[in-house]
Amino acid sequence: MEKEGYLFEMQRLLMEMESLADKYDVRDNVMSLIVTGVLEETPFGENKLKALYSYNLNSRDELEEIIDFVHNTYEEPKDTDDDQDLETFLRDFGISLN
């Protein structure tokens, strides 16, 4: 039930965001792509995405532009393990392995 609650709440927020663009009369000047969802495991052990999405794009060129933006700004999640590799550990002390 938590996943469904999350999706319902996100749907409400998504609708609120879209109405905000109308409130400020900027919908024609806003370019957005919003996707959120939760993964659920199927009986076959595969992940299935239950997603909400909203696009405010006027052309395929705008879609490509926003996809390029995501590619260029995405950073791999940092490893949150307490164990650091040797290079990272030594770099913290100003020592390089190169």
pLDDT per residue of the chain (98 residues) written in tens, 0 to 9: 688 899 999 999 999 999 999 999 999 999 999 999 999 999 998 999 999 999 999 999 999 999 999 999 988 877 655 555 667 767 777 776 66
DSSP string, the chain: -HHHHHHHHHHHHHHHHHHHHHHTT-GGG--EEEEEEEEEE-TTS-EEEEEEEEEE-SSHHHHHHHHHHHHHH--PPPP--SPPPHHHHHHTTT----
pLDDT of the residue at 20:
95
- The predicted pLDDT at position 63 comes to 95
